[in-house]
Amino acid sequence: MSHNDPALGFFAQKSKVRVVSIALWCLVVLLAFLTAWTTGVAGSGTGGTPADRAPALLLFMTGTSVLAFGALIVDITTAGVRDDLAWWGVLRLFGSLGLGLAAGSCAHDIALKSFPAWWLPILLLISIAILCVPVGVARLERRHGSSQTR
């Protein structure tokens, strides 16, 4: 039986669930990026309150939080369909938020022509490493399983 059988329902089709999961995590990174950028805009400048300088900040912060935890729930509940471990979603949550926030902060600092703080590029690298852990572990498990079958 195919994994794309329409009789299975949407949440039982591996390829479609994987695409939705990837799209959700990409949206989390994008919203985290926009949140960090908008926070930088709200923090810089003079006159008024940060809410006056960046009225969308509250919307981005709320949207990022809701989407991140929604993506985590979807990731955990569909892990069995994707042949993945359920709690890798927690690593994806921290990695996606860290990647988006660090990239947005770096982009804002570069746009202001100020040298980014030393911890921002390190946070970018750590976030990318966190996102690569589940893929690397899955690859090692497959390699170990194929060597045992030989």
How does DSSP classify residue 116? P
- Predicted local confidence at residue 84, as pLDDT: 80
- Predicted local confidence at residue 32, as pLDDT: 92
Query: Which residues fall within 8 angstroms of residue 91, CB to CB, at 6 or more apart?
Result: 130, 131, 133, 134
Domains of the chain, residue spans: 13-44+52-148
The low-confidence residues of the chain, meaning pLDDT below 50, are: 1
Q: Is the dihedral of CA 105, 110, 112, 113 positive or negative?
A: positive
Does the global pTM surpass 0.85? no
